[in-house]
Structure 1
Amino acid sequence: MVPLVALIGRPNTGKSTLFNRIVGKRLAIESDIPGTTRDRIFEKVSLNDKDFIFVDTGGLEFGQKMDIEADVQSQTKLAINDADLILIMIDAKSNLSSDDFYAADLIRKKGKKAILVANKCDNSRISDGCSELYQLGFGQPIPISALHAFGLDHLKSEVVNHLKDFDFQEQESKKNLKEIPIAIIGRPNTGKSTLVNALINEDKLIMSDIPGTTRDSISHYLEYNDKILKLIDTAGIRRKGKIREILERFSVMRGLNAINESEIVFWLIDSVEGITSQDKHVIQFALENHKGIVITVNKTDTFEDYQEEKNKFLNILRRELPFLPFAPVIFISALKRKNLTELLNISLQIDEHRKMRIPDDDFSLFLQKIIMQTAIPRKGKKVLKIHSGTQDGINPPTFTFHVNDRTLVHFSYRRYIENQIRQEYGFNGTAIKMLFKNK
């Protein structure tokens, strides 16, 4: 088991900036707007050969909150409950507030080990003025500037020293398991966070009927059939013209980056609203980046006649998505947790197909056969000649063809070759990358 370190504090103390510094990449959105982080954001970190899960949280505030802000507070309190070590983040440039004392009191009542972190210590004068922080009862604060990377080595060293007190042993067999990164994508309010929560059996993500609830791309780990699935919940991706606020623009950028880093995407479609041009925009990005794709039709618990409405939706998919014949379609209800096992099984099958390799001799014979089966593209007197073809990459499956003139490769002939490859070898559920190079 791996220890969990949670980053706690009131809004706008710089938690997300510190989180990004520690994990070494920009996973959490950084903004001067309080309350930017809503969900808990998890990432596995290794410091001096010590592994732990690092968690960024929304700002903890004193007093009763309503609606989605109440959910943010609940998420943060859950992080405190789950944590083995807590970093309490304080803004050294501001006086202590009721929110700071509220956070400290919560942590003390839970009996958690904690490190007091004084952020925004951009000069020695501010660092020297941290004496009032002793009132919180957690000893000497560690002065840092997350923005300017000041004091981070000292903080990391203290985190490692505290983690040595924990006797966590990660099973050796699990250390060697390769992660399969899966991005859960779709437009806002299709049930992405509900699906992640259903898969991991815990309410770690804020669920709401308000579109755009998830702002960051958030990773969670699920062990299934001796595989580690890294589930990435993304912000709802809209067309650029629909993105109005700057934080939402950052969220969409995170979502697109999550697709880039994934190997498979679960593309969630709302069965009530059907397929929109916005949906096609989302999946086109995944297709262009040669991802494994599962068309995941959610909210089937609203179907009155399941089989009839399922068949009707399949007909719509065939008509609207002729460019995705290879993608399996799974009908689920994330809310009712129906058909989720099939979704996970399909993802493992796609992972196997993405890593499948065809021997060169076998593929050469196959290529000669399919060339003979249909008319060769030509332009005037010039005829396409395919000199050779090999599979030179996996995950995604990548094929390179050496030809006399690649401008002669019409899109219909490219599609013909892809269809023949799929018919012969499978590669179910994944996009195939094909390159044509002049010889």
Structure 2
Amino acid sequence: MLPTLVLVGRPNVGKSTLFNRLTKSRDALVADLPGLTRDRHYGRGIGASQPYLVVDTGGFEPNTDSGILKAMAVQTLLAIDEADVIIFIVDGRQGATPQDMEIANRLRRCKCPVLLAVNKTEGMNKAVVSAEFHELGLGDPLSISSAHGEGVKDIIDLALESFDVVEEEPELDQTGERVPKVAIVGRPNVGKSTLVNALLGEERVIAFDEPGTTRDSISIDLEKNGKHYTLIDTAGVRKRGRVLEAIEKFSVIKTIQSIEEANVVILVVDAQEGITEQDAHVAAYILEAGRALVVAINKWDGLKEEERDWV
């Protein structure tokens, strides 16, 4: 599973600039968050000792208690919960602010490592600029310039040094043939649970996302027409006859991890809603990752004849 690095900081400290530098692309996967003017961006990090996922969370204002900024803070906290390493970005030209201190107080309670990046230090005495950020209590500040690339490679190498590069051995069945891995992904309520249960059979009970494994997808063995497959399922906790997709949380990180693990990805879309921007972004990521893509158009039976022709 690829390490996930989450970029956190107050607005306008240079998170998006760093994100674009790390992914070397502006075509990042975007999570549709209703009502938010700033979306979280997801992409695959390039140029390090190993591949990794990077998440740009947008501006984090933890003390806001209403409106759009509160919603953005909630989304940032959800991303933090899924992080392997957090890079907390502050502005070296503005110095440490009360808002930085509030964010630092939140991050000190995180279980994963937190690296403190002092951005916009190009052309400045880095030791002097970073000195005041020791008061945040997050260890030694690391001076970087996301715009010019100074110090960026060093902080990413530091973030990834505890993760081993694992060459995954292909899984083989009893006859020695390679078992294809098939991921089933899609937005909430598009029918992933129904598809999984249809493939596995009526009697199958599927449950995962136990406490402590919120990032993990479940792998399910499937035998069809004499061939063995592994289904990688991200649909959430559910039981046959009691599908709970309505309360499913859509995790882009979980979806990306499943795509990376699979050989073939089935993208389930809702025929009645059509192809959304989120569907298009996910499909693009699948193709860029070099995986085979199958688009499953679900809820076809609810369309009229002319609507089917349009779809």
TM-score range, shorter chain: 0.5 to 0.7
Q: Which runs of 5+ in 1 are unaligned?
A: 30-34, 185-191, 207-217, 234-251, 265-290, 299-306, 325-439
Could you tell me the TM-score, scaled by structure 2's length?
0.58
Deviations 1:110-136 (A, max 9, x none): 243121101112312466322111111
1:115/1:222 CA distance change after superposition, 3 Å: same
Q: Does 1:220 align with 2:236?
A: no
- How big is the shift at 1:228? 5.1
1:372 corresponds to: none
Q: Does 1:15 align with 2:54?
A: no
Deviations 1:132-178 (A, max 9, x none): 111111222221111122222222332233x24xx68564338x999
Matched-pair contact (CA < 8 Å) for 1:9–1:15: yes
Matched-pair contact (CA < 8 Å) for 1:46–1:52: no
2:208 corresponds to: none
The Cα RMSD (Å) is: 4.6
- How big is the shift at 1:82? 2.2
Structure number with bigger Rg: 1
- How big is the shift at 1:38? 2.5
User: 1: distance between equivalents of 2:16 and 2:142?
Assistant: 17
User: 1: distance between equivalents of 2:258 and 2:14?
Assistant: 29
2:42 corresponds to: 41
- How big is the shift at 1:96? 2.0
2:106 corresponds to: 106
Q: Does 1:54 align with 2:61?
A: no
Could you tell me the TM-score, scaled by structure 1's length?
0.43
State the SS of the aligned residue for 1:133: helix
- How big is the shift at 1:45? 5.1
State the SS of the aligned residue for 2:256: strand
User: 2: distance between equivalents of 1:108 and 1:178?
Assistant: 41
State the SS of the aligned residue for 1:55: strand
Matched-pair contact (CA < 8 Å) for 1:181–1:263: no
2:150 corresponds to: 150
Q: Name the amino acid aligned to 1:22.
A: L
Deviations 1:351-388 (A, max 9, x none): xxxxxxxxxxxxxxxxxxxxxxxxxxxxxxxxxxxxxx
User: 1: distance between equivalents of 2:191 and 2:56?
Assistant: 18
Q: Does 1:90 align with 2:90?
A: yes
1:391 corresponds to: none
1:203/1:97 CA distance change after superposition, 3 Å: farther
Which has the higher relative contact order, 1 or 2, with Cα contacts under 8 A spaced 6 or more apart? Answer: 2
User: 1: distance between equivalents of 2:143 and 2:3?
Assistant: 24
State the SS of the aligned residue for 1:222: helix
Q: What does residue range 132-143 of structure 1 map to in structure 2 within 5 Å?
A: 132-143=132-143
Q: Which runs of 5+ in 2 are unaligned?
A: 30-35, 172-177, 194-233, 237-247, 270-276
User: 2: distance between equivalents of 1:143 and 1:230?
Assistant: 43
- Equivalent residue for 1:314, pick from 282, 296, 304: 304
1:203 corresponds to: 249
1:177/1:10 CA distance change after superposition, 3 Å: farther
Q: Does 1:172 align with 2:169?
A: yes
State the SS of the aligned residue for 1:53: strand
Q: Percent identity?
A: 24
User: 2: distance between equivalents of 1:232 and 1:47?
Assistant: 32
Q: Name the amino acid aligned to 2:42.
A: I
Q: What does residue range 224-243 of structure 1 map to in structure 2 within 5 Å?
A: 227=263, 229=265
Q: What does residue range 392-411 of structure 1 map to in structure 2 within 5 Å?
A: none
Matched-pair contact (CA < 8 Å) for 1:8–1:57: yes
Number of equivalenced pairs: 239
State the SS of the aligned residue for 1:124: coil
- How big is the shift at 1:107? 1.6
State the SS of the aligned residue for 1:173: coil
Q: Name the amino acid aligned to 2:249.
A: D
Matched-pair contact (CA < 8 Å) for 2:28–2:43: no
User: 1: distance between equivalents of 2:151 and 2:268?
Assistant: 31
User: 2: distance between equivalents of 1:123 and 1:232?
Assistant: 50
Matched-pair contact (CA < 8 Å) for 2:183–2:266: yes
User: 2: distance between equivalents of 1:114 and 1:255?
Assistant: 32
Deviations 1:396-424 (A, max 9, x none): xxxxxxxxxxxxxxxxxxxxxxxxxxxxx
Deviations 1:16-74 (A, max 9, x none): 21112112222459xxxxx86433525365622x3433222122213133355433222
Matched-pair contact (CA < 8 Å) for 1:75–1:205: no
Q: What does residue range 25-424 of structure 1 map to in structure 2 within 5 Å?
A: 25-28=25-28, 37-39=38-40, 41-43=42-44, 47-48=48-49, 50-125=50-125, 128-161=128-161, 163-164=162-163, 171-173=168-170, 195=190, 199-201=234-236, 203-204=249-250, 220-222=256-258, 227=263, 229=265, 294-296=296-298, 310=302, 313-318=303-308, 321=310
1:436 corresponds to: none
